Amino acid sequence: MVVPPTLQPPFLLPPTARLRHDPGGMIPAKADLRRALRGRRRDFAALLDREGRLREAADALAAQALPHIRDARVIAGYWPIGSEADPRPLLHALHDRGRAVALPRVTTPESPMTFHRWRPGDTLVAGGHGLLQPADGAPALLPDLIVTPLVGFDRRLMRMGQGAGYYDRLFARFPDIRRIGLAWSAQEVEEVPADPWDMPLHAIATEREWIEPETA
C-alpha cells in the first residue's frame, strides 16, 4: 500500500507532538505566511539585483556572520537557490581560513539530509527543486555548526523553512550542533507561528546585523 506523504509517521517526534497543536485555527497561517515571505524574498533580491547590489549584500552577510562562526571546524552551509540569502562569500571565507565546509544532499523526502565536503571549484550535481548538491564521491562530514537557509524568521530566533522538514528533523536528531540562520533583512516578521517541534536558532545573520538572544 502506498502511504500518502501526509500520513507518514514523523519518526522523531514524541507521540504527543504528532497531532498538530492548533488552538487558534492557525494551520493555514503557516502556509500563507510561507507563500507571502517567498514573495517578499523574491522582490527584495530582485531589487538588489536591479540596483547591482546582490554581490555587495552577500559580502555584507558574510561580514556579519564570519566573526561569530569562524571558531567552528566543520561548517555545513547550503548552495543558494532562487532568491535565498547567498552564503557563497561566507563559504569561501571559511574555506580560505582552513575550515572544512560541507553542503547538504537530499534524496527522497523520507531520507535524512546528509552533508558532504565542498571545496571551491567542486562540481555540483543537479537535484530536485533546482538544487545543486555534492556529487556521490564527496565524503560525508558531521558538522559542528549548521548554517541554514530561511524563508522567514522572527526576533525570538524562530524560523520558517521550505516546509519539507529536512532541517527540523536534522535539528531534532542533533540538538547540540549550533544552528545559525541566514536571511535577507526583508524576511523578518513579527512572529513566525511555531509548532511543537520547532527549535529556535542560536543566531541569525542578515546583510544588516547579527541577531542573538541578547540583542534580539
Ligand X SMILES: Nc1ncnc2c1ncn2[C@@H]1O[C@H](COP(=O)(O)OP(=O)(O)OP(=O)(O)O)[C@@H](O)[C@H]1O
Ligand Y SMILES: Nc1nc2c(c(=O)[nH]1)N(C=O)[C@@H](CNc1ccc(C(=O)N[C@@H](CCC(=O)O)C(=O)O)cc1)CN2
Residues found near ligand X in the complex (CB under 6 A): 10-13, 30, 160-169, 172, 195, 197-198
Hey, which residues between 77 and 106 contact ligand Y (CB under 6 A)?
Answer: 78-82, 84, 104, 106
186 annotated as a binding-site residue: no
DSSP annotation string for 72-104: -SEEE-----TTS---HHHHHHHHHTT-EEEEE
Nearest residue to the partner ligand X, using Cβ = 161
Hey, which residues between 132 and 161 contact ligand Y (CB under 6 A)?
Answer: 149, 161
Residue 212: CB atoms within 10 Å: 13
Q: Which of ligand Y, ligand X, none does residue 196 bind (CB under 5 to 8 Å by kind)?
A: none
Q: Which of 140, 143, 153, 141 is nearest to 177 (CA)?
A: 143
Rounded Cα–Cα distance for residues 132 and 102 (Å): 13
Minimum CB separation of residue 31 from ligand Y in Å reads 12
**Residue 1 CA to its chain's centroid (Å):** 33
Minimum CB separation of residue 211 from ligand X in Å reads 18
- The verdict on 199 binding ligand Y (CB under 6 A) reads no
Q: How many residues bind ligand Y (CB under 6 A)?
A: 18
Half-sphere exposure of 184 (CA within 13 A, CB side): 27
33 annotated as a binding-site residue: yes
- The verdict on 113 binding ligand Y (CB under 6 A) reads yes
Pairing of strands 100-105, 114-118: antiparallel
Q: Of these, 131, 189, 194, 199, which contacts ligand Y (CB under 6 A)?
A: 131
| DSSP at 214 | T
Site for ligand Y, rule CB under 6 A: 38, 78-82, 84, 104, 106, 113, 129, 131, 149, 161-162, 164, 166-167
